[in-house]
Amino acid sequence: MPSGPPVALSTASVYPEPTPAAFELAAELGYDGVELMVWNDPVSQDLAAVSRLSREYAVPVLAVHAPCLAVTQRVWDSDPIGRIRRSVAAAAEWGAGTVVLHPPFRWQRRYAGLFADEVARAGETAGVALAVENMFPVVRAGVRSVPYAPGFDPTEVGHRHYTLDLSHTAAAGVDALALLDRMGTGLKHLHLTDGSGAPRDEHLVPGRGSQPCAEVCQRIADSGFDGVVVLEISTRRCRTRYERAALLAESLLFARLHLQPTGSRLANPRVAEPAR
């Protein structure tokens, strides 16, 4: 096992391939586990099916991304509080230590009023950390709006645990290192990815954009960070499995290199070759 925090593959990183492909690629490339994105793929919603994949490929589920996207508002439960609780229960079933959550949308007024209290208490009995993710404004026809309540920066509200997403800092024009400092010891989860600074969510391979991905990794490696680093990149334009595997292998190599604690960063990270 390489030194540094565990590095997982987001199952969203293999889209448009389905959830089983993420487990297969994570095993082939040497990831430590997966972050399970619960979305419209029926397998991602099926606890027994995910457990079978985890056993078959010997790839643990290290985190669960709750179904809180605009397109997943009916997955598991039409009530967003119910979706949080189902996500926590699934994480406990799979042995995952973290549930990743987005802030509520502005139109979810009742949910927005309950969100902070629910996040504070939902994982207490299950021993699961609910890590609220930084988001970004939306720009349409040149108009910038914030679709989240009360905003896209969860540190302005204050939560016990946070997820830092480096594609979202790029899209928001936020200083990622300053946000890392504000999250402080509350940082539980890192979405290691990149962005060019364009006002859209790009999820580039780390090192291919403008974000201080290497410095963020180095800081958390030296900080005693006890969470999980997740590669959440977009591979939807890849035409073949080999192209997808190559991007995921490059991302893992970047993570292994820069997550070495100071003094051991010259050690050679060991990453499997992409499947041909």
Nearest by Cα to 193 from 242, 147, 266, 250: 250
How high is the pLDDT of residue 268?
A: 44
C-beta separation of 65 from 36 below 8 A: yes
Token pair recorded at residue 164? 């830092």
Cα Rg, the chain, nearest whole Å: 17
- The pTM of this model reads 0.92
pLDDT tens, per residue, the chain with 276 residues: 467 899 999 999 999 999 999 999 999 999 999 999 999 999 999 999 999 999 999 999 999 999 988 788 888 888 999 999 999 999 999 999 999 999 999 999 999 999 999 999 998 888 999 999 999 999 887 888 999 999 999 999 999 999 999 999 999 999 999 999 999 999 999 999 999 999 999 999 999 999 999 999 999 999 989 999 999 999 999 999 999 999 999 999 999 999 998 864 444 444 444 444
The Cα-based distances of 268 to 2, 3, 114, 230, 253 in angstroms read 10, 11, 47, 20, 10
109/145 Cα distance (integer angstroms)? 17
Q: How far apart are CA 156 and CA 186, in angstroms?
A: 13
